[in-house]
Structure formats: structure tokens, C-alpha cells
Structure 1
Amino acid sequence: MSEATLDKRPIKLAADHVSDPRKYPNQSPFILPRHTHPYPRRSVPGTKPTSKPLTATLKPMRGGSPITLADLDQNTTIHDIKSSYAAQSGQAIEKIKLLLNKKPAADLKTLKELGVDGDVEFSVMVMGGGGGGSNATTPAVEKTEPVMTAVPAATGGEDKMDVDPPTPAPESEKAAAEAGQKSGREGVEGILKTEEFWSDLKGFLAQRLRDEREGERVAGVFREAVGGK
């Protein structure tokens, strides 16, 4: 069949068209690759460990008795160790943080992934300031309050508050107050007699009224009123 006999027009398929898988070309068989597990597998109780048993010693950083976990293997996760420690110490598992060589150990890491091939020692950090477990008792602190002693009332009637009689102000203070008032009046009268004050008032009124003549007239009225006193 030559190229001239080929139909160059596109093939139109119906909306409900279904292909027949029997007409697909044959493919050679192949094997899918093995998928790696995204998380480390937990150790199943009752199974034999693949390596020699390990012992983990967990020492609290803020005091307390260390806890030893035996019969561990390299596939044991940090989460498994934290669960065992929480069950024995009474601490909440979400507050426990394990440190290996002063570095935090992730919960999903196994001992093998952390490079542990023998007995290991972890430091235990309890987040939130926890102590040595639920059995730890906090000593009670006694609060001492001052004792109020009653004072017996004096005989002979009710107690009255002694009030000192009002004392008149000294003559020097009166003279100072009168001198201040007098100097204040003299200062105001002196300012009203200056042309600078009236020119400033005229300019202010002209600016507020937006009319220079009206401002000059109002300032003249004020000046006549002040001069008539």
C-alpha cells in the first residue's frame, strides 16, 4: 500500500467508543521493581531477631532512676523504645525526647539506621518540664500568713478621730499670693497698652474673617471696649 492510498483525514470516534483490548499489540512480560518500604518496619513480637540482642539504658537528664531495656535488636525503632520507657516511667509518650550522643533521635529511625551495633545509652528529655514520672511527689510549701491581733477598745465611749483645727495661712504666703495677683493684672494691662498686641489681633481677625477691613473694624471695637473700662 502506497502513501497515496492512505487516508490523511483524522479518524472520528463516537463519544461512547470503547477500545477492544484483544486488538492491542502483544508485549513481552516484565517484572515490576520491588518497592522499598517508606517507613521502618516494626519488630513483630514472637519473631527471632536477625541480630544479637541489644540493651538500651535510658537516663533522665533532670534526675531520676535510669531504666534499662533488654532484648532489643537493630530493627527496633526509637518509637518502640519511647513506648517502653513511657510505660515504665509513667511519662506521656508525646513529651519524651531521646538523645543519642547529644543529638535528637527521630521516632521512625531504627537502631541500625542510627549506627548502633551494641549496647547503647540514651539521654531522656521530658518536654514541658516533667519530673521523674507520675510517682514523683512535690513537697508542699507551707505559706505563713501574718496573724492579726485584736487591739482592745479604750473604755469610756466611742473612739473619735483627733482632727487638728484649721490653722490660718502665714502672713508671708498671703502677701505672696496678693503680689502674684497684682503682678498678673499689671502684666495684662501692660500687654493691652502695646501696639504689637492690637496689630496681632487685627491680623488674626482679618485672617479668620477673610476680610482685612472687617478685621480692622472688629479690632477697633475691642480696643474701644477695653479702653472704656
Structure 2
Amino acid sequence: MTEVSFAKSFLAALDGRPIKLSPDHVEDPKTYQARSAYILPKMPKPISKRKGTSVAPGQERSLAVTVKSLRNPPLDLRLSSQPLNTSIHDVKASVAKETGIAENKIKILHKKKPISDSKVLKDLVGDDETTIEFSVMIMGGASAATAAKPEAQNDVAQGLSGADVLQTEEFWSDLNGFLLQRIREEQLAAELTDTFQQAWKAKGVSLISIGSEVFMSSNPP
């Protein structure tokens, strides 16, 4: 049976039934049954009004930020009344301004793990916390003292190569920073750096002599 034939048979069946209301039927309002107004029952507990989240200017919540470093160079910096929307990049800029160290040499850590510059303080603290502490790692052995040195001295440092580089604090600081970025664990990265440094000091003399022989053989007079 197709849809058309089913519709025709259904309408034919309806035509055979008696009509209860005419097409022009109008109900008399006087015949309506009287009904009392329906009142909703009271709630067992009143609905609490939502409190506004906006605060008056000058009353925004702020945090006291502490930035410390126990490694070289030692650092203990306190930044008071920092808004919750302060980014890690802003904290890094404040550290750079106070110490004279370039921003690209500064790595901010929270709970011994690196934090990206795009993070803000409210992402790292609870609702009731008023302070937050960061640790900082200075890449490349930069410090406030070395940052103020003349450009000529930087050129001399950049001229080091070979085994001489391993005698500088900058090399081991860079190695520590590289391991930290890979491992993301400050203590383990520091232990590995110390292990490599001690191994180099123990075998440095023999490695230098071997390197000299290789250089002389590859570059005869």
C-alpha cells in the first residue's frame, strides 16, 4: 500500500464517523467551568542571588612574587602587589630590569619545572593564595656583573674554542639549561651537569692531549 492510498483510506474512515463539532462551532464563555488560580508551591530553600564578580578599581586581588636562585649568580628578588593577570614574561622582564641580565638568558621555574612565558599568575595559584615563589635559572652564566662589562671583553669570551670552552662557567650553565629543557626536572639536570663536569675534570688532561695529536695529524706543517 502506497502512502497516497493509505491517506485516502484513512480519510474515508474518518468521513464515516459522526461529527461532534461543526466547523463553525463557537464555545460560549458562560459555560466554562469556574477554576481557581493555580499558585506554585514555595521552594524549600530560597534561591540565592548571584553575587557580582566585579570589584571596585584599586581593590583587585594581587600577589606577592618572590624570585630566588641558589646557583650562580645568587638572586633573591621580591615583587609586591602583582595583578593576577601578570604574565611570566612580565616577571622575567622585572628580573631582567633589576639584575641587568638579558631576558633571553633567564628561565623561570615553578616547583622545579620550567614555565612558558604565556602563562599568567592566576594559572599557578589557588583561590586563597596571596604569595607565589619562583626559582630562576640564568642561561649561559650571565650575571649582573658580567652584563655591565665592556663589549670588548665579550668579544674575547666569544673567541674561545675547543677545550678552553670547557673551562668556562658559561658552558656548564648552558649544558645545565639544555638538560633542564629536555628532562624538565631541575635537581636531576643539576646532578647530571655535576657528573659531566667532574668526569671532564678527571679526564680533561688526557682528552686535551689526544685532541692536540689529532689536530696536528690533520694539519701537518
TM-score normalised per structure 2: 0.37
Tell me which protein shows more helix as a share of its residues. Answer: 2
TM-score normalised per structure 1: 0.36
Q: Which of structures 1 and 2 has the larger relative contact order (alpha carbons within 8 angstroms, sep 6+)?
A: 2
Q: Which has the larger radius of gyration?
A: 1
